[in-house]
């Protein structure tokens, strides 16, 4: 026997101790799904819905990563039953979540559309389990294509590069939640330092030097990152910041952080009759998107007689429930509602839950209360009515709750109140459609398109929706009086409100328009830059 | 051919092959760009550049001299940015690659709380494993995996399972690690397949080892690391000419003394003792220079060399003891026991084997050595 026994000598200086340094995480940003748009189309011949999943333009706009699989899951249903308006209790909320969980995890499986693209730019599109049929077709990317289903239904498709339809002041949003990685290089060893323990706020806090706008570094947070100072990472002040004229400083700038940027997109216009056998009854179409990346073992599986799934029962067990194709991929990212990840859940791994985010329900209650303590006092300071009970705190507070039960009383109205719309234009068929409430919007994390509406958020999501402004409107007391029309999801988008406020800059949270106009015809999103 | 197509053809000719060559070229380009743009006053920039240097050095061969130089550079950066935790993590990583447990521990201890975040926990677990504290290492790896599930933590758990004798569990863990690796991480996949090949070969499943290495070669072409494993497998399967050819190929990319030694062994087995001896002596000279400088990373190679290649039993025992003083674990005790046995001190060797088992060690090499040592003293 020699001590150069196979496996000991050659491995010694390359054992797992050096794995981290050898194999840095490779960027998989083609897997970063951005937005899920969904709304009834204006087609006059038959009812159709527009579904648009956008994701990072990697390797470039119009060129898809051939290792990726994108999946849109679609689940039409009748409008859900929910707790009555007189029962704003935690138990009523729990019953709702239980009912939804049974719906999504029980007998009903969503139909789905899968897309992969090969190196020649040809996409394979698989429609599975739709009443209108299951079939596979191949289409060219970057072209508007008409797909005929076995049922005869015509589906219009575009898969390719477009202008990013998301227009939003992301820096402002991250400033509002004191999200360090947008502004600082956070050490790998300090991943706990993401949302710093400083009150969430819409108005800058006096002395919050880590996140307040610094005119000497105007691009800070807009691409410029500094090294994270050594701390402290808390805030000990007691007031909102004001300038010499007594104006608050808004965390939002009104700038579109995505201006001039492209995405890749899967855009489909699909007849409702293809999606459901009962289009007259099933008037809500839930849709959510996922990205999956090919596993390394699948990439080389042409080697015979040793596929992992045959030889390894452990791996096989982990893949239970996935079909043959999905077993070859790894789920990376999920998108349903805007701000569901960043706004309502701190947990990175929750991003992969999609419609199955029911277990996050307690975290949702706690998180809304945490946000409420931050945004509620900001709203009040602006002279607006807050839906969150913050005991008239004069300034934002950093507070976290250990239990949903403790958080719930403060956030009851925030969770249960109906989000009023500015007028009735959303209700295009003039039906008795209940207004949506925050808990229904975010759990499950899907884009729920009500086909009897225009599909404007939260009854779906249209590209032109100012979702940041509408998201923040949850913190307004929709039952309080305001002018002649009261509060609505568009209140914070009213320029007149800002013109009259003691604040700078005087801008709605969301930029008012996309950097380039949306199209009135399919594929609706503007061409890539 | 138009000028454009000629240019395209030229580009194709000069473009590195996908896999190792392309990755290394890309990494070097990235390093150049970072070095050019680095803000000397920024700990992030310093850490990024040093991390890239470390990656480049490790990917291109992991030569100890380069790692020592990088370690010294990190020390200088730490002097400027003592509170930047990632520099400490990098320092600990480099120190561990060179078996400098003392430096690794000091780096982790320098910043409070560093060992309770996932990357720090993993390094603390590595340290525990170096110290033979297998239970502690397992607990730390599992805690890190709970907080931040990563394929490489799973691979470390596999290596730990192997070190403690759970061969089947080790392969399961490697398979789980593999299942987390995507098509964007083909080098990682090849690395795991090479470990699984090691594992298969260690228990005599050479056909399986061959298949794993074929997968690794296909997944990540041109990597010397896989070629070295292939050569080792050829040597183990009594194909010394193929092994020699493989090691020569490896040495063309990565001149490390352990590969020179392995080439010497392959050539000797192939009936070319003179050439083999020359390579052996060349390797030995490098080992000795390292030890003479006070470095510890080649102590186990020196012990093994003097135990088996060019027997000098007392020297072998001395180097093995030195190595045990640095890191007392199943692997170092196993080698010490073997050296003692080769020196005719088999009773002492058996005592050391018992100590290794008492720690919880049980890898196939230890098992094989223990069997031979115990047979020599009359165990059934």
Same-domain status, A415 and A498: yes
Partners of A326 on chain B (C-beta within 8 Å) are none
pLDDT tens-digit readout, A165-186 = 999 998 999 999 999 989 999 9
Interface contacts A/B by beta carbons within 8 Å: 212
A147, with CB counted inside 10 A (0-12, 13-18, 19+), is middle
Question: Does residue B228 sit at the A interface (CB-CB below 8 Å)?
Answer: yes
Beta bridge mates, A49: A40, A270
Residues 6+ apart with CB under 8 A from B300: A12, B319, B320, B323, B331, B332, B335
Helix (H, G, I), strand (E, B) or coil at A423: coil
Contact B111 A189 (CB under 8 A): yes
3-state secondary structure B158-196: HHHHHHCCCHHHHHHHHHHHHHCCECCCHHHHHHHHHHH
Same domain, A234 and A379: yes
Which residues 217-246 on chain A approach chain B with CB closer than 8 angstroms? Answer: 227, 230
- Percentage of chain A modeled with pLDDT above 70: 84
pLDDT < 50 positions in chain B: 1-13
Is A149 a member of any domain?
Answer: yes
Q: pTM of the entire structure? A: 0.89
Q: What are phi and psi of A173, to 5 degrees?
A: -60, -45
Question: Could you tell me if A177 and A324 lie in one domain?
Answer: no
Q: Which residue, among A9, A56, A69, A189, would best test binding to B if mutated, counting the most B CBs under 10 Å from its CB?
A: A189
pLDDT of residue A2: 34
Distance in Å, alpha carbon of B208 to nearest chain A alpha carbon: 9
- CA distance to A20, A334, A448, B84, B326, per residue, from B89 (Å): 11, 32, 46, 9, 20
Task: List, for residues A198-207, the tens digit of each pLDDT value.
Answer: 999 999 999 9
Q: Is the pLDDT of residue A107 over 60?
A: no
DSSP string, B33-47: HHHHH--TT-HHHHH
Token pair, residue A144, equals 């508007």
B251 touching A (Cβ < 8 Å): no
CB burial string A225-247: b at 16+ within 10 A, e below: bebbeeeebebeeeebbbeeeeb
Question: Scanning every residue of chain A, which has its alpha carbon at the shortest distance from the alpha carbon of B183?
Answer: A296
Residue from the list B97, B119, B265 with its beta carbon closest to the beta carbon of A189? B119
In-domain check, residue A205: yes
Place of tokens 């013109």: A499
Q: What is the band of A342 on the pLDDT scale with cuts at 50, 70, 90?
A: low
Are A419 and A472 in contact by the 8 Å Cβ rule? The answer is no
Nearest Cα of chain A lies from the Cα of B60 at a distance, in angstroms, of 10
Which helix (H) or strand (E) segment is B358 a member of?
helix B346-359
Gap between the Cα atoms of B125 and A20, Å rounded: 14
- pLDDT value of residue A112: 95
pLDDT for residue A301: 65
Inter-residue long-range contacts of B367-370, CB under 8 Å, 24+ positions, other chains counted = B367/B165, B368/A1, B368/A5, B369/A1, B369/B334, B369/B337, B369/B338, B369/B341, B370/B337
What residues contact A527, with CB distance under 8 A and at least 6 apart?
Answer: A162, A163
Count CB atoms within 10 A of the CB of residue A367: 22
Considering the domain architecture, whether residues A234 and A306 belong to the same structural domain is answered as no
Co-location of A213 and A284 in the same domain? no
pLDDT for A431 beyond 60: yes
CA distance A444 to B272: 71
Three-state secondary-structure class, residue A120: coil
Helix count and strand count (H, E) for chain A: 13, 18
Residues A272, A293, single domain; the answer is yes
Cβ separation of B117 and A189 shorter than 8 Å?
yes
Q: Which helix (H) or strand (E) holds B217?
A: helix B206-219
Question: How close B347 comes to chain A (CA, Å)?
Answer: 18
Task: Say whether residue A17 is in contact with chain B using an 8 A CB cutoff.
Answer: yes
Pairwise CA distance, residues B33 & B38, whole Å: 8
Please indicate whether, in this complex, the C-beta atoms of A2 and B265 are within 8 angstroms of each other. yes
Cβ neighbours of B111 in A, within 8 Å: 189
**Interface residue B133 vs chain A (CB under 8 A):** no
Q: Do A228 and A271 reside in the same domain of the chain? A: no
Q: Is it the case that residue A426 has pLDDT exceeding 60? A: yes
| Calpha distance A457→A267 (Å, rounded) | 18
Quick check: helix, strand or coil at residue A242? Answer: strand
> What HEC string does B74-133 produce?
HHHHHHHCCCCHHHHHHHHHHHHHCCCHHHHHHHHHHCCCHHHCHHHHHHHHHHHHHCCC
Radius of gyration of chain B (CA): 22
Q: Cα separation of A155 and A113, whole Å? A: 12
Q: State the ipTM, two decimals.
A: 0.89
**Which of A280, A307, A336 is the endpoint of a domain?**
A336
Please check whether residues A104 and A234 belong to one and the same domain. no
Co-location of A154 and A193 in the same domain: no
Query: Chain A partners of B86 at a C-beta cutoff of 8 Å?
Result: 187-189
- With residues binned 3-state (H G I as helix, E B as strand, rest as coil), the percentages for chain B, rounded to 5, are 80, 0, 20
Binary contact (A296, B219; C-beta < 8 A)? yes
Contacts of B184 in chain A (CB under 8 A): 26-28, 67, 293
**A101 or B36: which leads in pLDDT:** B36
> A428 pLDDT band (50/70/90 cuts)?
very high
In this structure, the answer to whether residues A293 and A406 fall within a common structural domain is no
To the nearest whole angstrom, how far is the Cα of A505 from the nearest Cα of chain B?
A: 32
- Unique residue bearing structure tokens 């080697």: A303
CB A460 within 8 A of CB A40: yes
pLDDT 10s digits, A467-521: 999 999 999 999 999 988 899 999 999 999 999 999 999 999 999 999 999 999 9
Tell me which residue of A520, A435, A510 sits closest to A465, measured CA to CA.
A510
CA torsion through residues B244, B246, B252, B255, sign: negative
Q: What is the dihedral of CA A252, A253, A258, A260, to 10 degrees?
A: 180
What distance in Å separates the CA atoms of residue A139 and residue A247, rounded to the nearest whole number? Answer: 55
The answer to whether A98 faces chain B, any CB pair under 8 Å, is: no
Enclosing domain of residue A54 = 29-164+260-336
By C-alpha distance, the chain B residue nearest A296 is B183
What is the pLDDT at residue A14?
36
B174 touches chain A (CB under 8 A): no
Of B64, B120, B152, the CB nearest to A16: B152
Domain count of chain A? 2
Q: Is residue A523 part of a domain?
A: no
Residues 182-211 of B with CB under 8 A from A: 182-189, 191, 195, 198-199, 201-202, 208, 211
Tell me: the pLDDT tens digits for A121-138? 999 999 999 998 999 999
Residues in chain A closer than 8 A to B338 (CB atoms): 1, 3
Instruction: Tell me: do A300 and A438 sit in the same domain.
Output: no
Read off the pLDDT of each residue in A213-239 and give the average, rounded to a whole number.
94
Model confidence at A440: pLDDT above 70: yes
CB A65 within 8 A of CB A58: yes
Is residue A201 exposed (0-12), middle (13-18) or buried (19+ Cβ within 10 Å)? buried
B324 to chain A, closest Cα gap in Å: 15
What's the rounded Cα separation, in Å, for the pair A458 and A408? 23
- The DSSP result for A186-229, as a single string, is --GGGTT-SB-SS---SBPBTT-TTTS--TTSTTBTTTB-EEPP
Which residues have C-beta within 8 Å of that of residue B192, sequence separation ≥ 6?
A: B151, B155, B174, B177, B178, B181
pLDDT at B15: 59
Please state which CATH class domain B298-380 belongs to. Answer: mainly alpha
Q: Do A93 and A195 fall into the same domain?
A: no
Which residues in chain B touch residue A298, judged by CB atoms under 8 angstroms apart? 183
CA distance B155 to B196: 10
Residue A300: the pLDDT is 83
- Please spell the DSSP secondary structure of B129-157, one letter per residue: HHTT-HHHHHHHHHHHHHHS--HHHHHHH
Rounded to the nearest angstrom, the minimum Cα separation between B1 and chain A is: 23
Strand partners, A138: A124
Using CB atoms within 10 Å of the CB of residue A430, give its burial: 0 to 12 exposed, 13 to 18 middle, 19+ buried. Answer: exposed
* pLDDT for residue A85 is more than 70: no
- CA B201 remoteness from chain centre: 17
Say which residues have a Cβ less than 8 Å from residue B346's Cβ, sequence separation at least 6.
Answer: B340, B373, B376, B377
Within the 266-295 window of chain B, which residues sit less than 8 Å (CB to CB) from chain A? none
**Which residues, other chains included, contact A269 with Cβ-Cβ below 8 Å and sequence gap of 6+?**
A41, A43, A48, A49, A50, A51, A155, A156, A157, A522
B121 touches chain A (CB under 8 A): no
Last residue of a domain, one of A336, A365, A395: A336
**Residue A454 is assigned to a structural domain of this protein:** no
pLDDT digits (tens, 9 = 90+) for A8-23: 433 344 343 333 332 3
Measure Cα distances from B97 to A3, A14, A17, B110 in Å.
20, 8, 7, 19
Band (pLDDT 50/70/90 cuts) for residue A95 is confident
């Amino acid at each position: 026997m020699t001590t150069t026994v196979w496996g000991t000598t050659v491995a010694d200086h390359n054992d797992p101790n050096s794995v981290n340094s050898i194999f840095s995480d490779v960027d998989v940003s083609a897997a970063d799904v951005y937005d899920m748009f969904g709304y009834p189309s204006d087609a006059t011949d038959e009812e159709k819905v527009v579904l648009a999943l956008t994701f990072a333009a990697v390797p470039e706009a119009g060129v898809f990563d051939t290792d990726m699989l994108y999946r849109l899951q679609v689940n039409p249903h009748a409008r859900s039953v929910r707790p009555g308006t007189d029962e704003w209790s935690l138990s009523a909320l729990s019953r709702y979540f239980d009912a939804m969980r049974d719906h999504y995890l029980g007998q009903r499986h969503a139909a789905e559309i899968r897309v992969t693209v090969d190196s020649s730019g040809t996409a394979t599109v698989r429609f599975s389990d739709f009443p209108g049929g299951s079939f596979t077709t191949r289409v060219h990317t970057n072209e508007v294509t008409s797909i005929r289903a076995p049922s005869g239904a015509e589906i219009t498709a575009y898969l390719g590069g477009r202008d990013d339809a998301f227009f939003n002041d992301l820096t402002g949003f991250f400033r509002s939640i004191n999200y360090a990685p947008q502004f600082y290089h956070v050490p790998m060893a300090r991943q706990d330092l993401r949302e710093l323990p400083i009150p969430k706020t819409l108005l800058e806090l006096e002395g919050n030097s880590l996140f307040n706008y610094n005119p000497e570094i105007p691009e800070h947070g807009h691409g410029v990152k500094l090294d994270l100072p050594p701390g402290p990472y808390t805030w000990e002040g007691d007031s909102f910041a004001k300038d010499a004229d007594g104006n608050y400083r808004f965390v939002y700038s009104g700038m579109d952080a995505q201006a001039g940027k492209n995405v890749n997109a899967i855009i489909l216009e699909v007849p409702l009759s293809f999606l459901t056998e009962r289009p007259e009854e099933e008037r809500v179409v839930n849709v959510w998107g996922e990205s999956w990346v090919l596993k390394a073992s699948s990439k080389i599986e042409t080697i015979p007689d040793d596929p992992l799934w045959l030889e390894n029962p452990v791996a096989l067990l982990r893949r239970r429930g996935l079909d043959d194709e999905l077993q070859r991929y790894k789920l990376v990212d999920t998108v349903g509602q805007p701000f569901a990840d960043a706004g309502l859940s701190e947990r990175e791994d929750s991003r992969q839950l999609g419609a199955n985010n029911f277990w996050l329900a307690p975290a949702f209650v706690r998180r809304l209360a945490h946000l409420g303590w931050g945004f509620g006092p900001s709203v009040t300071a602006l002279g607006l009515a807050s839906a969150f009970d913050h005991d008239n705190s004069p300034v934002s507070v950093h507070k976290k709750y250990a239990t949903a039960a403790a958080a719930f009383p403060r956030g009851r109205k925030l969770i249960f109140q109906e989000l009023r719309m500015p007028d009735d234009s959303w209700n295009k068929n003039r039906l008795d459609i209940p207004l949506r409430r925050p808990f229904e919007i975010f759990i499950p994390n899907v884009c729920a398109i009500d086909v009897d509406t225009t599909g404007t958020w939260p009854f779906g999501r249209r590209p032109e929706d100012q979702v940041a402004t509408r998201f923040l409107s949850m913190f307004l007391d929709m039952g309080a009086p305001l002018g002649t029309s009261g509060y609505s999801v568009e209140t914070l988008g009213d320029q007149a409100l800002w013109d009259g406020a003691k604040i700078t800059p005087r801008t709605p949270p969301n930029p008012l328009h996309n950097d380039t106009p949306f199209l009135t015809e399919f594929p609706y999103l503007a061409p890539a830059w | 051919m138009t000028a454009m197509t000629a240019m395209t053809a030229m580009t194709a000719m000069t473009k590195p092959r996908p896999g190792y060559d392309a990755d290394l070229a890309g990494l070097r380009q990235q390093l150049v760009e970072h070095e050019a743009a680095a803000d000397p006053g920024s700990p992030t920039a310093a850490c990024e550049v040093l991390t890239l240097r470390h990656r480049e050095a490790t990917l291109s061969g992991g030569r100890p001299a380069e790692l020592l130089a990088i370690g010294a550079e990190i020390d200088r950066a730490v002097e400027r940015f003592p509170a930047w935790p990632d520099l400490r993590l990098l320092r600990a990583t480099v120190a561990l690659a060179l078996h400098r447990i003392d430096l690794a521990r000091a780096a982790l201890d320098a910043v409070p709380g560093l060992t309770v975040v996932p990357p720090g926990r993993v390094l603390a677990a590595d340290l525990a494993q170096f110290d033979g504290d297998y239970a502690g290492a397992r607990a730390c790896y599992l805690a890190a995996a709970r907080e931040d599930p990563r394929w490489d933590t799973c691979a470390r758990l596999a290596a730990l399972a192997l070190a403690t004798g759970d061969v089947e569990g080790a392969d399961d863990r490697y398979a789980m690690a593999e299942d987390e690796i995507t098509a964007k991480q083909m080098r990682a996949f090849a690395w795991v397949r090479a470990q699984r090949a090691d594992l298969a070969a260690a228990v005599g499943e050479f056909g399986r080892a061959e298949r794993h290495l074929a997968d690794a070669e296909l997944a990540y072409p041109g990597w010397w690391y896989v070629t070295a494993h292939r050569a080792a497998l050829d040597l183990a399967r009594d194909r010394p000419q193929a092994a020699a050819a493989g090691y020569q190929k490896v040495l063309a990319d990565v001149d490390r003394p352990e590969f020179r030694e392995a080439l010497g062994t392959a050539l000797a087995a192939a009936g070319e003792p003179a050439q083999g001896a020359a390579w052996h002596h060349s390797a030995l000279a490098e080992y000795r220079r390292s030890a003479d400088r006070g470095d510890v990373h080649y102590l186990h190679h020196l012990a093994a060399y003097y135990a088996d290649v060019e027997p000098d039993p007392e020297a072998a025992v001395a180097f093995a003891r030195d190595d045990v003083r640095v890191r007392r674990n199943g692997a170092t005790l196993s080698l010490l026991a073997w050296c003692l046995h080769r020196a005719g001190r088999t009773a002492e060797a058996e005592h050391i084997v018992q100590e290794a088992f008492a720690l919880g060690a049980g890898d196939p090499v230890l098992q094989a050595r223990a069997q031979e040592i115990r047979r020599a003293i009359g165990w059934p």
